[in-house]
Amino acid sequence: MALDLKWLVGTRLESVEKKDYTWFFILSGEGSIATESPWRLVTKEGLRVTSEDHGQLFGLKEPVDAAARVLAATTEKKVVSYRVAEQSSDLIVVFEDDVRIEFLNLSCGYEAWRTLHQSVHVICLGGGELAMFKDQK
């Protein structure tokens, strides 16, 4: 089974939620990306927020809500492309207006990110290898 994340193109981000240590990015068309690893939101203006910023006060009146910032930057924007970095397998999801969410692989041992779409899982393994499998019914 060849790596196929083409389903990402044309989808919209519907929700972002952190549960315990896992971030869930739910996309239209019944697709999702989940990660326990760092991720970042980048726009034309630069780095807007990272998973590491979530809950930090940074001298503000309220802690940073990373999910809200991602949703604000991606509302009504479709995914126009994606890229999996050749050696690290970082996943870069590009929305309209060059808004990007970059899912980073920072471990030689732990899984970084995983996608699920129509019972097909793609998992970024430690060290940047990719595994793909389909649920058995």
Would 95 be classed as within a structural domain? yes
How many domains, in total, are found in the chain? 1
What global pTM score does this model have?
0.95
User: Would you say residue 55 lies in a domain?
Assistant: yes
Greatest alpha-carbon span in the chain: 51
pLDDT at 1 over 70: no
**Given this model, what pLDDT does residue 71 score?**
98
Q: Are 54 and 48 in contact (CB under 8 A)?
A: no
Encode pLDDT of 102-134 as tens digits.
999 999 999 999 999 999 999 999 999 999 999
- What is the domain range of residue 26? 6-134
Cβ proximity of 95 and 83 under 8 Å: no
Choice between 1 and 67, residue whose per-residue pLDDT is larger: 67
Asked whether the predicted pLDDT for residue 95 surpasses 70, the reply is yes
The reply to whether 35 falls in a domain is yes
User: Is residue 1 in a domain?
Assistant: no
* Rounded Cα–Cα distance for residues 109 and 128 (Å): 9
Q: Is residue 99 part of a domain?
A: yes
**Position 110 in a domain:** yes
CATH number at residue 58: 3.20.190
Q: For position 3, what pLDDT does the model report?
A: 78
pLDDT digits (tens, 9 = 90+) for 40-94: 999 999 999 999 999 999 998 999 999 999 999 999 999 999 999 999 999 999 9
The 3-state DSSP composition of the chain as helix, strand, coil percent (nearest 5) reads 15, 45, 40
Q: How far apart are the C-alpha atoms of 97 and 136, rounded to whole Å?
A: 38
Question: What pLDDT does 2 receive?
Answer: 65
Per-residue model confidence (pLDDT) at position 58: 94
